[in-house]
Structure 1
Amino acid sequence: MPHILETQGLSRTFNGFHAVSNVNLSVQEGSIHALIGPNGAGKTTCFNLLTRFIDATAGRIRFQGQDITRTPADAVARMGLVRSFQISAVFGQLSVFENVRLALQRRRGHSMDWWRSDRALAVYDERTRELLDEAGLSAWAGHAAGELPYGRKRALELATTLALEPRVLLLDEPMAGMGAEDIAHAASLIRQAARGRTVLMVEHNLSVVADLCDRITVLARGEVLAEGDYATVSRDPRVVEAYLGHGHAGQRKHHNTRSGEEASHG
């Protein structure tokens, strides 16, 4: 399969600190690819670079064969490189249905649709219902988004992200803060969302990574430490040492591991 997203020598320095250093990443189209590593490895910084939230100090980024190293973040999102965040972002006072419909309006690019009547916005209703059904949220459609349990809020965030019709979906710790039942539901949603698109995810729950991902890139101290399928990277002595050295021994058995890395240096 062709590579839909690639970096060459991608680097970012903050006041002399090398958060990301010479990262070469190749994400195959149609795959689920994980970016893992101990806290402070550079994972979230990589996400911020790929989605153009911050500028690279050095290196290049190519998306669908096009150089996007200096392309503005909003233009990159419109091209189909769309991300979610560690913290769920929904409009709490709007209904679940309205949140998804608003995301569809944003995809169309007409911000003044916000002020149009429900009748005028009915063109979005069918697709809204489809997305809610895919996310397992049909029963919650009329509820205020702020009233949703945490796991369902993350499902709503995924539905609103899918409304933007991404070619590549970047998920930043989608399982963070979830219990076992919500994790199983979220994993199912991600597997379904991956049909017909590419997923790149940062995730600390290694059992999820093992079950979901086709390929894994391991970062440590801002550099690529290893790459391959789960069986390959989990046996790599350098990977074992990196996790043991950061207090992550046996993480494969855990279901609720949260990241403490900061967005700018993560």
Structure 2
Amino acid sequence: MAEDIILATTGLTKEFGGFTAVNGVDLQVRRGTIHALIGPNGAGKTTCFNLLTKFLAPTKGSIVYNGRDITRQKPADIARLGMVRSFQISAVFPQLSVKTNVRIALQRKRGDSFDFWRSEEVLQPLDDEALRLVDAVGLAAFAELPAGELSYGRKRALEIATTLALDPEMMLLDEPMAGMGREDVERIEALIRKVSANRTILMVEHNLSVVASLSDRITVLARGQVLAEGDYAAVSKDPRVIEAYIGSGVGHAH
């Protein structure tokens, strides 16, 4: 029986002028797994991520999501298909409460316009659902706080909640741990593990200990190409991977 692949790329390539940032990448993400995209700086991870989430158009190659060719689709189209990118583009309104931020995402999911003057009867069920999501990401105590007053790590948790409000089948996380202290990293790591229960997650992440503990499968990119793939035990021992990391001055891949 064929493996259940939710997202696949074939020969994915992106050239900027004369520079090839992503070069013939074949990627297969299995449904229900946490898949990490790692590699030294300049490996093409971010470009690859931007191609997958449709923020860039590929020079060559194709992207298939849930059996549908999405190579030419727009980000809003793929969000409707159930593939949602989180973090750096999240629409967190700093002056509005944590709960209201999540409620706006729920309204967006329902296709409602951003009308804050809707009757209470309409908003009450959304409020209940928003509070459920706020609680799910560990922010119940901050529900009424303006989002802008949250700590950095808690803002990331709010962004996960607004992403979950769209009820994605697949979440793409762009460096979810960037800029975090250890306590926040542990909190967000536990949160990602929790929300991965019934969905697929693809993440670009620099923190290798997070990758080691969370990922089912890892794709290592170097110079825009797939260098290695497998679980953490396999890729961390791969001499080419160790060489790529040491060569870039990042230190050992372990």
Provide the aligned C-alpha RMSD in A.
1.3
1:238 aligns with 2:244: no
Secondary structure, aligned partner of 1:38: coil
Q: What does residue range 1-266 of structure 1 map to in structure 2 within 5 Å?
A: 1-86=3-88, 89-250=91-252, 252=254
2:244 maps to a residue whose letter is A
2:159 maps to a residue whose letter is E
Q: Are the counterparts in 2 of residues 105 and 113 from structure 1 also a CA contact under 8 Å?
A: no
Alignment partners' CA distance in 1, 2:126 and 2:88: 28
1:117 shift after superposition: 3.6
1:123 shift after superposition: 2.2
Q: Are the counterparts in 1 of residues 8 and 63 from structure 2 also a CA contact under 8 Å?
A: yes
Unaligned runs of 5+ in 2: none
Alignment partners' CA distance in 1, 2:247 and 2:38: 15
Residue-pair matches, total: 252
1:263 paired residue number? none
Runs of 4+ aligned residues of structure 1 deviating over 2 Å after TM superposition are 85-89, 112-115, 117-120
Secondary structure, aligned partner of 1:111: coil
Q: Map Cα deviations across residues 165-203 of structure 1 (whole Å, 9 max, x no partner).
A: 111100000000111111110000000110110000000
Q: Map Cα deviations across residues 84-133 of structure 1 (whole Å, 9 max, x no partner).
A: 13476511000000000000001111214444244431121221111111
Q: Are the counterparts in 2 of residues 103 and 160 from structure 1 also a CA contact under 8 Å?
A: yes
Q: Are the counterparts in 1 of residues 107 and 114 from structure 2 also a CA contact under 8 Å?
A: no
Alignment partners' CA distance in 2, 1:38 and 1:89: 29
Q: Map Cα deviations across residues 59-102 of structure 1 (whole Å, 9 max, x no partner).
A: 01000011111112211111011011347651100000000000
Secondary structure, aligned partner of 1:26: strand
Unaligned runs of 5+ in 1: 253-266
Alignment partners' CA distance in 1, 2:148 and 2:115: 23
Q: Quote the sequence identity (%).
A: 63
Q: Are the counterparts in 2 of residues 41 and 220 from structure 1 also a CA contact under 8 Å?
A: yes
1:12 maps to a residue whose letter is K
Q: Are the counterparts in 1 of residues 229 and 235 from structure 2 also a CA contact under 8 Å?
A: yes
Q: Are the counterparts in 2 of residues 113 and 121 from structure 1 also a CA contact under 8 Å?
A: no
